[in-house]
Chain A
Amino acid sequence: MPKIRWGKVLLWAACLSPLFWLGWRAWNDNLTANPIEYITHFTGNWTLRLVVATLTVTPLRKLLRLPSLIRYRRPIGLFAFFYGCLHALTYFWLDKFFDFHAIVKDVAKRPFITAGFTAFVCMLPLAITSTAGWIRRLGGKRWQDLHRLIYVTAAAGVTHYYWLVKSDHRLPVMYGTLVAVLFAYRLIALKLRRPAAPPPHKAFTAA
């Protein structure tokens, strides 16, 4: 019998619970007076939360010296993509009824939708190349470079949210701050890891 990895079980339960909560509310006809708006905001919120969670894995494993946490990064990232798909589908289907003319106009004309669409599109290649096979095929370095697209997704996602709200910016600013802190951590870590190149040795310059 294979060993049950309780960490993964817990993670799946945690990441699926919002979906069950949404389903429960739908079942009880309790999706507010504007269900489509509620579903859109709900799935959008969880996409952003999980993108932030994905970005938190690396700093956490380094700060807590728990390198094994890395195994949770891919599933959290994929769940972020999953909620992102639900969010996009809500917009394409329930909001626009696959009226592609209206969608193209919206994406081009409305900055907040352009930002959201960018965030979503950047997640696509990451989800596709999330398998071990793709890491092998691309090679670790190239794979890692590609997956830096998550930074674009995070920044565009926060922008999308910020541009969407009418006047109370507390929540988007909170997400923006979290993302900024996570970006700052990486920049600082990069600086510390690669100190400025030492001055060339005298013996070589003296000639």
Chain B
Amino acid sequence: MPTRKPWEIPYSEVTPKALYLNRRAFLAGVPGALLTARAARAGTKLPNLVKSQLSTTGEKTTPYNDVTTYNNYYEFGTQKDQPAIQAKNFRTSPWTVSVEGDVAKPRKFSLDEIMKLAPLEERIYRHRCVEAWSIVVPWIGYSLSEIIKQAGGPTSKAKYVAFETYYDPKQMPDAVHAGIQVPYVEGLRLDEAMHPLALLCVGMYGETLPPQDGAPVRMVIPWKYGFKSIKSIVKIRLVESQPPTDWNIYAPNEYGFYSNVNPKVDHPRWSQAKERRLGEFLKRDTLMFNGYGSQVASMYAGMDLKKYY
């Protein structure tokens, strides 16, 4: 008969003191470790920001968490929550952007050069997705025209600007299911590209861009549907004729080259008259040119916007 009571255990099974102390030290370290991981992900603070005169006024900015967890970035998955997860370890360094084609001095820019090329401005813009939702974001960057000027400016042949997104099948394994062409391409007419509102963007909410929002450098064109604002740019090419654009290639009857925000021209499958601002319950009316008409409407004077949607 064993004399040991069932709840008694031999001393050999007791965890050595050094080990359990070690465990405590480990647990104590957990919050710190989590914090560092979070800090590294959240992006680097961008100092010396100039408040832009071109900012939208009187609008509440959308919470950072919404803008970083509800994304359309099809190379990292077609569901809204996927890019935040799949793009987490996206490598954005080293990074170069080539400004080429019909510019006087075609050249490549490193990301460091881009960050210092012009004073970084904070610009608060409304951003309207073609899917009828919208956000208000404090973007950081400067007008695209600045970098084009640094490449000698457009030659007389240049009529359009073509953009291209970085593509790496290893880092973007889901891109093959996106349904749309990769690498993603977009384009603007030269006057649109040189418009001061057309922003070359390197950050938001006071920090560098998170990968799911288009790190390290993207376009923001506030009077056009969101898909025109191409992300993770590697190439800016000035060209003579209208360049192909991704969603237009995929469904030309649904997405035009211009894709200006226009409440009067519906998407064939849904109305564009209203939009849901993330964080709001009731839908609000969509504004012509997303509310930037006084600055941009003159570029489209005389154009039939139903035809050139």
Residues of chain A whose beta carbon lies under 8 Å from any beta carbon of chain B: 32-34, 36-37, 97, 102, 106, 110-112, 163-170
Given A110-B270, A112-B269, check contact A34 B276 (CB 8 Å). Answer: yes
Q: Say yes or no for B250: interface residue by CB 8 A criterion.
A: yes
> How far, in angstroms, from A170 to B176 measured CA to CA in the complex?
11
> How far, in angstroms, from A153 to B183 measured CA to CA in the complex?
38
> How far, in angstroms, from A165 to B269 measured CA to CA in the complex?
10
* A106 → chain B closest CB, angstroms: 7
**How many of B's residues come within 8 Å of A, CB to CB?**
25
Chain B's interface: helix, strand, loop or mixed, by majority?
Answer: loop
A34 B70 Cβ-Cβ under 8 A: yes
Closest to A170 in B: B177
Given A32-B80, A33-B279, check contact A166 B133 (CB 8 Å). Answer: no
* Closest 5 A/B residue pairs (Cβ): A167-B179, A33-B70, A33-B66, A168-B78, A33-B278
A168 B179 Cβ-Cβ under 8 A: yes
Most chain B CB within 10 A, of A36, A37, A102, A167, is at A167
B279 A167 Cβ-Cβ under 8 A: no
Closest to A38 in B: B80
- Per-position contact with A for B273-284: 1 when CB-CB < 8 Å, else 0? 000101101100
CB neighbours (8 Å) of B81 from chain A are: 32
Closest to A112 in B: B269
* A111 → chain B closest CB, angstroms: 7
CB neighbours (8 Å) of A168 from chain B are: 74, 78, 177-179
CB neighbours (8 Å) of A169 from chain B are: 179
Closest to A164 in B: B269
* A44 → chain B closest CB, angstroms: 14
Q: What total of A-B pairs shows CB separation below 8 Å? A: 48
Residues of chain B whose beta carbon lies under 8 Å from any beta carbon of chain A: 65-67, 69-70, 74, 78, 80-81, 131, 133, 177-180, 250-251, 269-271, 276, 278-279, 281-282
* B250 → chain A closest CB, angstroms: 6
A167 B66 Cβ-Cβ under 8 A: no
B269 A110 Cβ-Cβ under 8 A: yes
Can you list 10 A-B contacts (CB < 8 A)? A33-B80, A34-B80, A34-B133, A36-B281, A37-B133, A37-B276, A110-B269, A110-B270, A167-B180, A168-B74
CB neighbours (8 Å) of A165 from chain B are: 78
* B78 → chain A closest CB, angstroms: 4
CB neighbours (8 Å) of B78 from chain A are: 165-168
CB neighbours (8 Å) of A166 from chain B are: 78, 131, 179
A36 B269 Cβ-Cβ under 8 A: no
> How far, in angstroms, from A110 to B273 measured CA to CA in the complex?
14
Closest to B278 in A: A33
Given A34-B80, A167-B78, check contact A97 B179 (CB 8 Å). Answer: no
> How far, in angstroms, from A34 to B278 measured CA to CA in the complex?
6
* A165 → chain B closest CB, angstroms: 8
* B23 → chain A closest CB, angstroms: 30
> How far, in angstroms, from A200 to B216 measured CA to CA in the complex?
80
CB neighbours (8 Å) of B250 from chain A are: 167
> How far, in angstroms, from A110 to B270 measured CA to CA in the complex?
7
Given A32-B69, A168-B178, A168-B179, check contact A163 B80 (CB 8 Å). Answer: no
> How far, in angstroms, from A166 to B276 measured CA to CA in the complex?
18
